[in-house]
Structure 1
């Protein structure tokens, strides 16, 4: 029974090292933890790419690397929020990615801190090629 608090603390430290950039806890091989961490970042990039396909496509073959560099040391907040935060921090590439972000921002309120929530008031978001209007919970688009 007395080992359980130490075990829990060790597990917590390992999870923090794998997902949030914390130092590798004593007793673990730093190289192997680094390999596992890199694999988790690649997996996370794939999950975000499924939630934000145009954002990922805009970065092309460099998506995984760009996202992993950005995400390294940041705990995940979920694919939707991770992609949104990445897009706001690093920017989007290409018209399709701009439209994907504008559509989401027309339909949802997200302040970078709290969970995204559906917008209740009418909203307009513009990109060079599209206009998105959210009214009554539905988002409409029109080419410019």
Structure 2
């Protein structure tokens, strides 16, 4: 593949999924429509990995996810949901179901926001929005549900 073609393809991908400018020769309106469709697809994939977070946000799920994901390249559905949940937690906007799901994930896996999540081997705990979960011998248990 020639360097020029690779550069043009990278520019197109950036315009579609990372908020980059429309490359020369592409209709900006068509690119915006395709980008919106890709965001909806991405939101659906994340909701399959984070069903409690999506359910907790209810009808605001798609809009909340689209605002958060717009201009951000994907890290994969699991990581996108994790990053969104942490951002909502930091803003004080994480719904109780999402807090419980995040606490359980934090107890079961290590995730630094950069490298892929790795299972924890030692006993661990996670907490978010008042929810507390513990992991012992590979099993996660919710000790305290989130405040409702």
Q: TM-score, normalised by structure 2?
A: 0.86
Stretches of structure 1 that go unaligned for 5 or more consecutive residues are none
Match of 1:139, SS state, is: strand
Specify the structure having the higher radius of gyration (Cα). 1
Shift in CA distance, 119/6, structure 1 to aligned 2, threshold 3 Å: same
For residues 89 and 113 of structure 1, what CA distance do their matches in structure 2 show? 15
Counterpart of 1:106?
A: 107
**The 10-residue stretch of structure 1 (131-140 or 49-58) with the greater mean CA deviation from structure 2:** 131-140
Structure 2 residue 53 is matched with structure 1 residue 55: yes
The one-character-per-residue Cα deviations of 1:6-38 (angstroms, maximum 9, x if unpaired) are: 322211110111011111101100010000001
| Correspondence 1:34-113 to 2 at 5 A | 34-91=32-89, 93-113=94-114
For residues 24 and 127 of structure 1, what CA distance do their matches in structure 2 show? 39
After TM superposition, where is structure 1 displaced by more than 4 Å over at least 4 residues in a row? 126-131
For residues 65 and 143 of structure 1, what CA distance do their matches in structure 2 show? 29
For residues 15 and 25 of structure 2, what CA distance do their matches in structure 1 show? 13
Counterpart of 1:124?
A: 125
Shift of 1:96: 2.1
- Give the length in aligned residue pairs: 142
For residues 6 and 132 of structure 1, what CA distance do their matches in structure 2 show? 51
Alignment equivalent of 2:16, drawn from 15, 18, 25: 18
